[in-house]
């Protein structure tokens, strides 16, 4: 059953310790080897879009986005990491974080959001597979897991090539 009782708020500096612990719990040390992590190393986090979800005093989940360019074109984001604490999964926390995050990204003028993840989960938010070879990441990625959603109708046709970090937009760190 979906539980709507998650309070979503912008990520704060003092959340960093709890966020590190959550990342360790969910992904373990292997997270640093993933191709998406390699992109994030060169791409500024869009701090205005970093959200946390709370249940009482517990950090239940978090979402972040990195500002990227595809080929030479800025205006896209890489979604991730998205994390929901094990005890809060299946209660709508991921759904509210993604919905709020995409709404916020749209209001900030981004046109496209990419991610590496499971289509059966993300298609409910409008994500679809990127056509083979249209967008590539600097490392190995299962093409069936490279997904994108347009925040502006028709935007995906404008994004082609290798993903890299965008120069820092407003609100990055
Ligand atoms: C994937 C994750 C973010 C989902 O968060 P959540 O709060 O449990 O998701 P929600 O409550 O919004 O949605 C739950 C629904 O998604 C489904 N779901 C969850 N993960 C899924 C997956 N990988 N593939 C398909 N469906 C999935 C559940 O079965 C459930 O289905 P239902 O609504 O029909 O019952 C969370 O499980 C998580 O943090 N997983 C580990 C980290 C991870 O994989 N992050 C994403 C990649 S960076």
Each residue's pLDDT expressed in tens, for the chain with a length of 173 residues: 555 689 999 999 999 999 999 999 998 877 767 788 888 888 889 999 999 999 988 999 999 999 999 999 999 999 999 999 999 999 999 999 999 999 999 999 999 999 999 999 999 999 999 999 999 999 999 999 999 999 999 999 999 999 999 865 544 44
Whether 92 lines ligand 1, by a CB cut-off of 6 Å, is yes
Determine which residue's CA is closest to atom 9 belonging to ligand 1.
94
Whether 121 lines ligand 1, by a CB cut-off of 6 Å, is yes
Dist CA 105 CA 66 (whole Å)? 11
Mutate to test the pocket of ligand 1, among 80, 90, 98 (most ligand atoms within 8 A of CB): 90
Q: What is the CATH number of the domain that holds 15?
A: 3.40.630.30
Domain that holds residue 86: 7-165
**What residue has token string 């612990």?**
21
Dist CA 151 CA 10 (whole Å)? 21
Give pTM, 2 decimals.
0.92
- For the record, the structure tokens of 140 come out as 């190995």
Whether 90 lines ligand 1, by a CB cut-off of 6 Å, is yes
Domain count across the chain = 1
Closest CA to 79 of 56, 46, 108: 46
């Amino acid at each position: 059953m979906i539980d709507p009782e998650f309070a979503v708020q912008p990520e704060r500096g003092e959340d960093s310790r709890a966020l590190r612990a959550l990342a360790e719990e969910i992904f373990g040390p292997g997270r640093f080897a993933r191709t998406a992590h390699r992109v994030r190393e060169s791409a500024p986090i869009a701090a205005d879009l970093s959200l946390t979800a709370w249940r009482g005093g517990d950090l239940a989940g978090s979402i972040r986005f990195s500002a990227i360019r595809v080929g030479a074109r800025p205006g896209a984001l890489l979604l991730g990491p998205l994390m929901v604490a094990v005890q809060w999964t299946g209660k709508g926390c991921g759904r509210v974080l993604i919905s709020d995050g995409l709404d916020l990204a749209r209001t900030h003028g981004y046109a496209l959001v990419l991610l590496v993840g499971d289509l059966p989960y993300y298609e409910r938010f409008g994500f679809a597979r990127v056509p083979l070879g249209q967008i590539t990441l600097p490392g190995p990625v299962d093409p069936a897991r490279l997904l994108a959603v347009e925040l502006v109708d028709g935007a995906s046709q404008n994004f082609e090539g290798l993903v890299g970090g965008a120069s820092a937009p407003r609100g990055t760190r």
